[in-house]
Amino acid sequence: MHMLCNSLNAVATQLLSLSSPAFQSLIQQRAVWCQEPHAQVSTHGTLTFTYPSPNITRATINNGPVNFVDRRFTDDLLDFLIPLETVTEDTPKVVIFDSSNPNFWLGHIDMRTLKTPITDEKKQLGADYIKFTQLLQNITSTIFIAEIDGRAFGAGNEIAAQMDMRFVGPRARTGSFEEALGLVAGGGGQTYMGSILGKAKAMEYLLAAKSFTGPTGEALGIFNKYYDNSQALKNSVLELAQRIALFPRVALNQTKSVLGFLNPPNDAFQLDFEAFYDIEQGPVQQANIRRFIELSEDQTANHYEMGLGESVMALYGQWDGGVE
């Protein structure tokens, strides 16, 4: 879109002094296309892309009642990320991920894919999930920011942890509930949480399946900043993105590349992912997965899903039904 704007600008400037209706129409078209953020929708409709200012893309998530991570979302995200590996003048310097769902930023993985039998198709979803999470780190020419103003549990929390920055609003609740099901946060959740929080705090929150509110997460360092106003969150994140986008790409690329040494080693990531599939096939885990699907009424935005992460304790008869 930016290349189209540049071309229209160049031609319109040359023809500005002419009064032909056709030429005036071109100038008006240039104004509409280049001054207003036009939306583009991904193949499966799970992501909508807008362009709030030059070199910035806003990717808005919209996938079902809880924004869960399924085949459709994974395909759309890969379709978006893979081209960013090849840098052009249209490659965004900053991508902001937000959500059109006021209650969910990005949900857990589609729990139906965890039920036995574990097919090649299901394993491929897992492999592609790992692929796009690694792309978030390996694409060093683009900075990825999570703008979270809703729930992000399980896969949603893992993906947020693997972005470069995380800013949250008053509705933000994040965490990993997998331990309560007898599973692990095997898509990078454990390894990245350890890097962000340190071993002791990561173990506390992962092993106990505890969730992060905005102020708690900011204090622990998992969130860059908490905003108690949703509009202030959106305005501040865009202001930060605009400032970053002013700077030469080579400097942004070098800084992200160098700080990559703080990431967990890929071997640990891969071992954790492989362990997830071994663990999930156990009878206790499968029973918990079935119960989770039942309680959530097949992953609808019901009282149980809205209660994550505390509602997962219903598996042990210890949830009072409260929703934060």
Burial of 64: CB neighbours in 10 Å, binned 0-12, 13-18, 19+:
middle
Check residue 199 and give its pLDDT. 94
Each residue's pLDDT tens digit, 290-320: 999 999 999 999 999 999 999 999 999 999 9
Each residue's pLDDT tens digit, 18-36: 444 444 443 344 333 344 4
- State both tokens at 62: 């919209």
- The length of the chain in residues reads 324
Check residue 146 and give its pLDDT. 98
Of 52, 89, 76, 177, nearest to 132 (Cα)?
76
Element (DSSP H or E) covering residue 13: helix 2-14
Overall average pLDDT of the 178-195 stretch:
90
Q: How far apart are CA 35 and CA 51, in angstroms?
A: 10
Q: How far apart are CA 62 and CA 71, in angstroms?
A: 14
Of 162, 170, 169, 171, nearest to 234 (Cα)?
169
Each residue's pLDDT tens digit, 10-20: 444 344 444 44
Q: How far apart are CA 147 and CA 240, in angstroms?
A: 12
Each residue's pLDDT tens digit, 233-255: 999 999 999 999 999 999 999 99
Q: How far apart are CA 144 and CA 167, in angstroms?
A: 11
Sketch out the chain's domains with CATH numbers.
1-36 (no CATH), 38-276 (3.90.226.10)
Largest CA distance in the chain: 76
